[in-house]
């Protein structure tokens, strides 16, 4: 039981202090936010590509959520805009998605 309480305390501490250095809005209990990154003067955008990274327990993160991966997924060669989507539940499960629009 002591081990469980210690482990839970460690996860809570990591979640509390980990959000302090983040550039994204992070809610301790729940986060579901879309964030603008950049836009260009490129013409209209009729294609969209996404790339997602996933984090477990705030300790392990996997995936390629780069702009390059999102553009490749959408077969985009001329980028119009880049946005990010952040989703997190208790810091136990989180996703970070890069959304690229363009042609």
pLDDT for 63 equals 93
- Token pair in block for residue 97: 């998605």
pLDDT in tens, 41-84: 666 778 999 999 999 987 899 999 999 999 999 999 888 899 99
| Mean of per-residue pLDDT scores for the chain | 82
pLDDT for 10 equals 73
The pLDDT of 89-96, averaged and rounded, is 88
pLDDT at 28 over 90: no
Residue 72 phi, psi dihedral angles, 5° rounding: -65, -40
pLDDT for 85 equals 93
CA distance 6 to 12: 10
């Amino acid at each position: 039981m002591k081990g469980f309480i210690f482990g839970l305390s460690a996860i809570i501490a990591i979640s509390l202090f980990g959000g302090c250095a983040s550039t994204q809005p992070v809610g301790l209990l729940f986060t579901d936010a879309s964030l603008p990154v950049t836009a260009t003067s490129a013409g209209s955008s009729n294609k969209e590509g996404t790339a997602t990274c996933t984090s477990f327990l705030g300790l392990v993160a996997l995936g390629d959520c780069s702009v390059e991966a999102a553009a490749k997924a959408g077969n985009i060669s001329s980028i119009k805009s880049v946005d990010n989507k952040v989703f997190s539940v208790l810091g136990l499960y989180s996703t970070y998605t890069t959304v690229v629009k363009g042609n």
